[in-house]
């Protein structure tokens, strides 16, 4: 069993390394988040294109690593098309701290994990602007609506957005002070530039990569005003971030 927890942009390189070492028939449990920018393929689709014989599973959900490391309990979701693999992984990975739900909707679980970073950035921006829980609740609610819009467009089982892979992971990431996405957004709200905020965080912020990918969907006229607002703030040097955020929230209809 190979557990992948690397930045998603290096997944293809990892697959090439596995081919070079003839590790082409193992089980991969993926915890990396992201979608390939040029093709909109998930990590699972990217890996299976290169390693069609592997058994692929995805692990996701409201699991802040620091809390688990401190001995605090959590529950994640394991997604795999093969039910026998799910039971095998349960017997190996489940323990007193970490338990699991199960799903066969691999792509839906992957997409939810990738999209949640954008909403956490939005909550961070609101925090950096001095807003509080009233605004956070609105952003999370509208964020789930936009999850569903994107997932339906991509032909994915949209009800996964309401599972612990979607709304559960979203809420956890948005309220956690340990979230890199939220911290990055807070810095943007405080007036940092994108590059300075990334330097301050000091680690990969997967929500930024996902924002680049979501920009590609703008040509399809999807109704994702909150996510579009976040991408503008990240990439377009918006002068008045406060006005941009408030105007977006005011015009959204849930």
Query: Of 72, 62, 113, nearest to 95 (Cα)?
Result: 72
Per-residue confidence (pLDDT) for residue 20, from 0 to 100: 94
Instruction: Write the DSSP symbol of residue 102.
Output: E
- Are the beta carbons of 179 and 119 closer than 8 angstroms? no
Cα–Cα distance for residue pair 185/72, rounded to 1 Å: 26
- Answer yes or no: 216 catalytic: no
Least confident of 164-173, 191-200, 208-217: 208-217
User: For residue 2, what pLDDT band results from cuts at 50, 70 and 90?
Assistant: very high
In percent, the amount of the chain with pLDDT more than 90 equals 77
Selecting among 33, 41, 107, 116, the annotated active-site residue is: 116
User: For residue 130, what pLDDT band results from cuts at 50, 70 and 90?
Assistant: very high
Output the average pLDDT for the chain: 92
Per-residue confidence (pLDDT) for residue 254, from 0 to 100: 61
- Are the beta carbons of 209 and 12 closer than 8 angstroms? no
Instruction: Write the DSSP symbol of residue 129.
Output: T
Written as six digits, the tokens of 227 are 């996510």
In percent, the amount of the chain with pLDDT more than 70 equals 100
pLDDT above 90 for 39: no
| CA distances (Å), origin 122, targets 57, 74, 81 | 29, 24, 33
Per-residue confidence (pLDDT) for residue 221, from 0 to 100: 81
Q: pLDDT tens digits, residue range 166-186?
A: 999 999 999 998 889 999 999
Per-residue confidence (pLDDT) for residue 14, from 0 to 100: 94
Cα–Cα distance for residue pair 228/149, rounded to 1 Å: 13
Q: pLDDT tens digits, residue range 60-90?
A: 999 988 899 999 999 999 999 999 999 999 9
Per-residue confidence (pLDDT) for residue 172, from 0 to 100: 94
Q: pLDDT tens digits, residue range 89-109?
A: 999 999 999 999 999 999 999
- Are the beta carbons of 165 and 77 closer than 8 angstroms? yes
- Are the beta carbons of 175 and 89 closer than 8 angstroms? no
């Amino acid at each position: 069993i190979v557990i992948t927890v690397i930045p998603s942009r290096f997944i293809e390189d990892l697959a090439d390394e596995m081919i070079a070492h003839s590790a082409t028939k193992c089980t991969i449990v993926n915890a990396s988040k992201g979608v390939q920018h040029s093709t909109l393929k998930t990590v699972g689709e990217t890996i299976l294109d290169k390693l069609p014989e592997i058994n692929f599973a995805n692990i996701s959900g409201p699991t802040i690593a620091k809390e688990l490391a401190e001995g605090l309990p959590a529950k994640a979701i394991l997604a795999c098309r093969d039910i026998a693999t799910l039971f095998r992984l349960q017997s190996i990975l489940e323990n007193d701290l970490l338990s699991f739900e199960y799903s066969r909707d691999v792509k839906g679980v992957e997409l939810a994990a990738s999209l949640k970073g954008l909403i956490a950035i939005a909550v961070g921006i609101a925090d950096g602007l001095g807003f509080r829980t009233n605004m956070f609740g609105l952003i999370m609610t509208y964020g789930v609506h936009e999850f569903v819009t994107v997932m339906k467009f991509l032909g994915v089982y949209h009800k996964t957005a309401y599972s612990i892979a979607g709304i559960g992971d979203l809420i956890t990431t948005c309220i956690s002070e340990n979230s890199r996405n939220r911290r990055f957004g807070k810095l943007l709200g405080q007036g940092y530039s994108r590059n300075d905020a990334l330097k301050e965080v000091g680690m990969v912020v997967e929500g930024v990569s996902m924002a680049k990918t979501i920009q590609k969907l703008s040509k399809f006229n999807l109704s994702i005003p909150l996510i579009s607002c976040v991408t503008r703030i990240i990439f377009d040097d918006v002068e008045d971030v406060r006005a941009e955020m408030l105007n977006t929230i005011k015009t959204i209809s849930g």
